[in-house]
Structure 1
Amino acid sequence: MPNMESQDSTVSRGEEIKVLANEAFKAHKYSQAIDLYTQAIELNGKNAVYWANRALAHTKLEEYGSAIQDASKAIEIDPKYSKGYYRRGAAFLAMGKFKEALKDFQQVKKICPNDPDATKKLKECEKAVMKLKFEEAIAAPESERRLVADSIDFRSIDVEQQYSGARIEGDSATLDFVKKMMDDFKNQKCLHKRYAFQIVLQTREMLQALPSLVDINIPDGKHFTVCGDVHGQFYDLLNIFELNGLPSEENPYLFNGDFVDRGSFSVEVILTLFAFKCMCPSAIYLARGNHESKSMNKIYGFEGEVRSKLSETFVELFAEVFCCLPLAHVINDKVFVVHGGLFSVDGVKLSDIRAIDRFSEPPEEAWHYLMSVARMLPLGDLFDTLGPLGDLFDTLGLMLNCYGVIHNLSMEEVLASGMGNKGAFMRFEAPELKPNIVTFSAVPHPDVKPMAYANNFLRMFS
């Protein structure tokens, strides 16, 4: 009898924690919700609902690999639990894996034949798979494909006399050009395609020459700023520059991936960041995030925005340039900066990252451990498999706590969703490199809603 009472108490406690987790989820505190669902699972790991709910929270943080694992566990526990298939299908869909998503929504339809929502999503998945098969059928073999970048001569593009926007005089962008371009963007004016091509092509050339892991040296007495996800929030990017100064050799930045998608000013963001890179390569460093990929851009809005504001050619060109972005950075042999946190496999060394041939769309297994949510982590004994890299911060706990703060205040969840909370960036001072976190509130922008260019699939699951 005592064992039965203890078991009942454990199950009851699990339900209480699930209620708290649901409340955190409703408040958009997805990391907190995941922690609470995990506690509930530890008390009662045979409850499919806990696994499916945690899968949904992972999906909200774009941790799709974890979402698929949790949803699969829910299905394993209860093969007739429709939400397990639904949430795994939604995660597959968010990754652009339409064929896998289709199988899950077929199961949802089988379990719930009269559910109109399931019927609608199944039909949309069927359309997407049909389109995908058609595109695969007409696509040229990989060996025969020619890079778009190699076919563009921006110098041959004439600039109309009546064009009054920013102009590049000479071979490269200047600070005056970048300031004029940003001011034009602020007033919702477009950059001429000649200069857009020039900026993107020159940036590609610079990025191609970089290693997959870039070492950054900050001299004593100097500072360095690291920014997380911008996600198409151009007016908040301007606010960062207003608060912290424009990128320059004396005021360098690292933008740690996810420059585009979600927010509806992604073209303005990426051209601004690339223009600064062209103006002064040491003024700005750029890392690849999970949204610098074809599958994400197709779903979350960048592809549609580029097609609307520039042209179809730019869609392919940006995809090629994104494949050239470095994957990680190390600052003064002390701070490791990567978009997706640490690794899903043991024994990874910095030399392994340096050896990655990154010039392609990323394989899923690489995405899982290199890309997900902006994180900055110190090197040292905690991650000794990365190798000896200088002194660890005196207060390791402080650095890890700072990660928690920057994660919870990331522009990904806050600004790009239009919720009006705070964003944050980190400013490091050499030689100590102890992080100073600067927070700021979202600023007003033109009345163009986030996700204005996003795929219809995403709106269906919002």
Structure 2
Amino acid sequence: MPSMETENSNVLRAEEIKLLANEAFKAHKYSQAIDLYTQAIELHSENAVYWANRAIAHTRLEEYGSAIQDASRAIEVDPKYSKGYYRRGAAHLAMGKFKEALKDFQQVKKICPNDLDATKKLKECEKAVMKLKFEEAIAVPESEKVEPQYDGARIEGDFVTLNFVKKMMDDFRNQKFLHKRYAFQIVLQTREMLCALPSLVDINIPDGKHFTVCGDVHGQYYDLLNIFELNGLPSEDNPYLFNGDFVDRGSFSLEVILTLFAFKCMSPIYLSRGNHESKSMNKIYGFEGEVRSKLSDTFVEAFAEVFCCLPLAHVINEKVFIVHGGLFSVDGVKLSDIRAIDRFCEPPEEGLMCELLWSDPQPQPGRGPSKRGVGLSFGGDVTKRFLQENKLDLVVRSHEVKDEGYEIEHDGKLITVFSAPNYCDQMGNKGAFIRFEAPNLKPNIVTFSAVPHPDVKPMAYANNFLRMFS
């Protein structure tokens, strides 16, 4: 058994060799560095730094398996040593093992919440994992053949056409389903189009042309059809923006989202993310259960991935700001700050993205806690400052049921629009949409009542526990 003196001598000698190894590493002599770190480890194997340093030298030589082994040993020696997780995560990332890398960078973030590089790597991994899940989800149905007896809408070739959409909408009206192959084609194409957009989308309406903004639809497919009856189908000359909360609560959410996505494939509509375009909401309020029931489990991840690609806000002609929820807990937020949001994730519980999706106006000035427990309430003075600082005229948002389908607040500077009449078959409210005509963009609000739908109750696919309290 080595004496205390020998142990101390080994520790000191190991540290000297580590410094030589570091110099070799800095000189890009990675093999030499590995040899020297190995000598240091042989003298003092319970130092996590030596293992982690040898791991990064292996990574430089693209010896990722050895790097993972060394980084794992560093973590065994010191479970709170962030560089062990970081080095292992980097090796996993280099090997394309995104799920494993994600776990490592999550651990780095937990130990060092202010590590900017780890935060960046974590976001890269989250995106890669979502993409991976999406690709896994769409891989199986690609090989599915459309059965000869299938008499529903068909996409001929690579492009969604108006004839296809009309046939699909009519099939949905008659409670027929779309073949999975075509549903995947729509979802995949929509994802590709949405991913190419910024987090804040600028819309230009030429003089003499009009533009329609709709609020929450919440799976009320037959009321969506009624909007199109009243205001015309989406087209290049009749463009729409649907301002989030397309799904959940109403039991025809799949029909709603596939219809909106199909029109998106043809380009005459814009889509904003709402707070219900998220996994946590979909799991509770029905969309996840409905997708599983009408399509398959594989579609659940596919829709979740596409929802993470939805833009967060729109601006019409540099005058009208449109967002699902509302404004912010701090003054001074510029449109450029919204454009800079990395939105490709599940909504966080705080920050600009959360507030865009969850906040509500309040009648009194200033800011207050949110009645929802997420986001905040903001007064007319907050709205006024935001508009002045960004040289805008009006905020349009949705997110709240209103008796008349809309409400004008904050001295006319903020309009709430809600497009799900008789919400959940029990609120008795009207629905509304807003038509803007360029150049003056004066809001023309159209209200409408609910129309009959098949006898499927709202929340039919919702979490069983939640239905007990509905």
TM range (shorter): 0.5 to 0.7
Distance (whole Å) between structure 1 residues aligned to residue 192 and residue 441 of structure 2: 31
**Partner residue of 1:309?**
294
Quick one: structure 1 residues 258 and 359, their matched pair in 2 at CA, closer, same or farther if it must change by over 3 Å? same
Alignment of 1:295-306 (within 5 A): 295-306=280-291
Alignment of 1:385-404 (within 5 A): 387-389=389-391, 400=410
**Partner residue of 2:375?**
none
The answer to whether residue 304 in structure 2 is matched with residue 319 in structure 1 is: yes
Distance (whole Å) between structure 1 residues aligned to residue 435 and residue 313 of structure 2: 18
> Quick check: which has more Rg, 1 or 2?
2
Which of these residues, 430, 435, 457, is aligned with residue 449 of structure 1?
457
The answer to whether residue 254 in structure 2 is matched with residue 267 in structure 1 is: yes
**Partner residue of 2:277?**
292
1:365, distance to aligned residue in structure 2 (A):
0.7
**Partner residue of 2:209?**
222
Quick one: structure 1 residues 336 and 189, their matched pair in 2 at CA, closer, same or farther if it must change by over 3 Å? same
The answer to whether residue 263 in structure 2 is matched with residue 276 in structure 1 is: yes
Query: Aligned letter for 1:348?
Result: V
Alignment of 1:15-414 (within 5 A): 142=102, 143=125, 145=129, 147-151=132-136, 152-153=138-139, 155-279=142-266, 281=267, 283-366=268-351, 368-372=354-358, 382-384=384-386, 387-389=389-391, 400=410, 406-407=416-417, 410-411=418-419, 414=422
Structure having the higher helix fraction is 1
**Partner residue of 1:434?**
442
Query: Aligned letter for 1:443?
Result: V
Distance (whole Å) between structure 2 residues aligned to residue 414 and residue 420 of structure 1: 4
Q: Confirm or deny: 8 A CA contact 2:274 2:357 kept in the other structure.
A: yes
Q: Which runs of 5+ in 2 are unaligned?
A: 1-98, 103-124, 362-378, 396-406
Query: Aligned letter for 2:350?
Result: E
Give the TM-score normalised by the residue count of structure 2: 0.62
1:383, distance to aligned residue in structure 2 (A):
2.8
Q: Which runs of 5+ in 1 are unaligned?
A: 1-138
Give the TM-score normalised by the residue count of structure 1: 0.63
1:412, distance to aligned residue in structure 2 (A):
5.4
SS, match of residue 203 in structure 1? helix
Distance (whole Å) between structure 2 residues aligned to residue 401 and residue 386 of structure 1: 14
Q: Confirm or deny: 8 A CA contact 2:190 2:261 kept in the other structure.
A: yes
1:386, distance to aligned residue in structure 2 (A):
6.8
1:156, distance to aligned residue in structure 2 (A):
2.9
**Partner residue of 1:13?**
none
Quick one: structure 1 residues 380 and 212, their matched pair in 2 at CA, closer, same or farther if it must change by over 3 Å? same
Residues 434-453 of structure 1: per-residue CA shift (max 9 Å, x gap):
10110000000000000011
SS, match of residue 298 in structure 1? helix
SS, match of residue 260 in structure 1? coil
1:384, distance to aligned residue in structure 2 (A):
4.5
Quick one: structure 1 residues 271 and 391, their matched pair in 2 at CA, closer, same or farther if it must change by over 3 Å? closer
1:346, distance to aligned residue in structure 2 (A):
2.0
Aligned residue pairs, count: 316
Distance (whole Å) between structure 2 residues aligned to residue 295 and residue 270 of structure 1: 18
The higher-RCO structure (CA 8 Å, 6+ apart) is 1
